[in-house]
Amino acid sequence: MEHKNILIISASPRIASNSSALVGAFAEGAIESGAEVEYVSLRNADLGFCRGCLACQSTGSCVINDDAGEIVRKMHDADVLAFATPVYYNSVSGQLKTMLDRANPLFSADYKFRDIYLFTVAAEADEQPEKGPLETLRGWASCFPKAKIAGHVFAGGAAAPGDIKGHPALKTAYETGKAV
Whole-number Å distance between alpha carbons of 74 and 82: 12
Q: What is the pLDDT of residue 130?
A: 78
Whole-number Å distance between alpha carbons of 98 and 42: 10
Q: What is the pLDDT of residue 1?
A: 53
Whole-number Å distance between alpha carbons of 160 and 153: 19
Q: What DSSP line would sit under 106-168, residue for residue?
A: GTTS-----EEEEEEEESSSSSHHHHHHHHHHHHHHTT-TT-EEEEEEEEES--STTTTTT-H
Contact 121, 18 (CB under 8 A): yes
Going by DSSP bridges, is the β-strand pair 115-122/36-41 parallel, antiparallel, or unpaired?
unpaired
Q: Which residues pair with 34 in a beta bridge?
A: none
Whole-number Å distance between alpha carbons of 35 and 29: 9
* DSSP for residue 81: E
| pTM, rounded to two decimals | 0.96
Per-domain residue ranges of the chain: 5-179
* DSSP for residue 8: E
CATH number of the structural domain 5-179: 3.40.50.360
Which residue, 38, 52, 43, is CA-closest to 8?
Answer: 38
- Low-confidence residues of the chain: pLDDT under 50: none
